[in-house]
């Protein structure tokens, strides 16, 4: 493990390497900080700045960092699989690397997205969703928007192309249910759409991007805010103080509440959950924003893991390592976004220490 002398941004922007990761089988220690510098690492992801952000593309090839700069691997590292190929084939390859098979009634949790947002396009995900014989699942929002009621939400899902590729289930259409939060600081329960009980297996298929409240959104946000009913969303946003108001909690309390809600969903699903993040259209704004800022950085790729903490950590680290990630870094840091990773790890939900397996090597 790396000692905590410098912050993640100081190290990763200075050395331009993927902290906490390994590419092409080389492992880096969990990267919240490091004093190490690697002369060869300054080329890591440098070619990505010439790529155009889009929904289906192959992100530019990254240069493998020198693992010796940050120490050896650990048997406790989570495996995160990475491809630069943002296409249906790349998505299928990333999922296949996980070596999992859905059981029973399968769900794919994604964001249906507000009209005009950067939601994952159906043409990118259709083959995977249909290959899993899965239902796309979502819950209603707790803000105005166009997805705050089931009828309107289903219309948006249809307009955005999702109902053309799979059944879409708004999980809180008929109400919600409570699932327990183990060892929560702010939450003792997570209130989720009660249709969650109908599913035996889930794939979290998240669009990694910035977020105006959380700093960034990835796997943890997708299964916390995303699986919570509209009532449950209020509980999370208020850090456990209200089910009918967003409240005004301290920022870290809100982030910790998201981590706690995510841990409840992961505990509920047990081993029957997997995680994929797509790093394209990397706006500072989330898919709940119908007028998101245009991305200021190139697409990066698709990542997959059975550990959502490791997966989101790898995505954050790749943003820090990118030569053009400054805008998204500012968004994440202004809201202390990476703190959700610390709390999720403290809850025992996963680890920030990971090995990044390059599927393109």
Q: What is the pLDDT of residues 12-48, one digit of tens each?
A: 443 333 334 444 333 333 333 322 222 222 333 443 4
CA distance 82 to 315: 10
In a domain, 12, yes or no: yes
CA distance 52 to 43: 19
Supply the pLDDT for residue 73. Answer: 54
* Number of domains composing the chain: 1
Supply the pLDDT for residue 286. Answer: 83
Which residues, other chains included, contact 355 with Cβ-Cβ below 8 Å and sequence gap of 6+? 21, 22, 25, 27, 73, 77, 78, 79, 80
In a domain, 112, yes or no: yes
In a domain, 101, yes or no: yes
CATH of residue 311's domain is 3.40.50.11440
Question: Which residue numbers in the chain have pLDDT < 70?
Answer: 1-74
Supply the pLDDT for residue 87. Answer: 98
CA distance 201 to 332: 31
Q: How many residues does the chain have?
A: 361
Supply the pLDDT for residue 313. Answer: 98
Supply the pLDDT for residue 57. Answer: 53
Question: Cβ distance 207 to 220 under 8 Å?
Answer: no
Query: What is the token pair recorded at 298?
Result: 């190139």
Supply the pLDDT for residue 59. Answer: 54
Residue of 286, 91, 272, 277 whose CA lies nearest to 196:
272
In a domain, 173, yes or no: yes
In a domain, 310, yes or no: yes
Q: What is the pTM of this model?
A: 0.85
In a domain, 1, yes or no: no
Supply the pLDDT for residue 45. Answer: 43
Q: Could you list the residue range(s) of the whole structural domain that residue 34 is in?
A: 8-358
CA distance 254 to 340: 9
Supply the pLDDT for residue 76. Answer: 84
Question: Cβ distance 185 to 256 under 8 Å?
Answer: yes
3-class DSSP state for residue 153?
helix
3-class DSSP state for residue 144?
coil
In a domain, 2, yes or no: no
In a domain, 192, yes or no: yes
Question: Cβ distance 321 to 12 under 8 Å?
Answer: yes
User: Which residues are paired to 203 by β-bridges?
Assistant: 108, 274
């Amino acid at each position: 493990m790396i000692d905590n002398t410098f912050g993640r941004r100081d190290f990763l922007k200075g050395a331009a390497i993927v902290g906490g990761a390994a590419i092409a089988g080389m492992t880096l220690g969990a990267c919240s900080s490091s004093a190490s510098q690697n002369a060869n690492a300054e080329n890591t992801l440098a070619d990505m700045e010439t790529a155009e952000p889009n929904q289906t593309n192959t992100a530019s090839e990254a240069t493998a960092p020198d693992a010796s700069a940050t120490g050896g691997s650990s048997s406790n590292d989570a495996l995160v699989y990475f491809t630069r190929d943002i296409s249906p084939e790349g998505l299928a390859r990333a999922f296949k690397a996980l070596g999992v098979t859905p059981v029973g009634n399968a769900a794919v949790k994604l964001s249906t997205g507000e009209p005009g947002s950067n939601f994952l396009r159906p043409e990118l995900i259709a083959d995977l969703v249909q290959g899993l014989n899965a239902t796309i699942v979502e819950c209603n929002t707790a803000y105005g928007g166009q997805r705050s009621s089931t009828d309107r939400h289903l219309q948006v899902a249809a307009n955005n192309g999702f109902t053309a590729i799979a059944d879409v289930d708004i999980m809180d259409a008929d109400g919600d249910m409570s699932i327990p939060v183990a060892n929560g600081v702010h939450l003792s329960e997570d209130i989720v759409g009660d249709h969650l009980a109908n599913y035996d297996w889930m794939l979290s298929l998240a669009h990694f991007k910035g977020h105006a409240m959380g700093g960034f959104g990835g796997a943890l946000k997708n299964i916390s805010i995303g699986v919570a009913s509209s009532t449950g969303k209020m509980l999370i946003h208020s850090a456990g103080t209200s089910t009918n108001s967003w409240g005004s909690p301290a920022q870290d309390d809100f982030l910790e509440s998201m981590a706690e809600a995510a841990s409840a969903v992961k505990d509920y699903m047990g081993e029957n959950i997997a995680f994929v993040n797509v790093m394209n259209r990397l706006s500072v704004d989330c898919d709940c924003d119908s007028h998101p800022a245009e991305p200021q950085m190139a697409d990066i790729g698709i990542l997959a893991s059975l550990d959502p903490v490791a997966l989101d950590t790898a995505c954050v680290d790749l943003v820090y390592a990118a030569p053009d990630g400054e805008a998204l870094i500012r968004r994440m840091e202004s809201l202390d976004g990476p703190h959700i990773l610390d709390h999720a790890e403290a809850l025992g939900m996963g680890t920030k220490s990971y090995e990044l397996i390059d599927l393109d090597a």
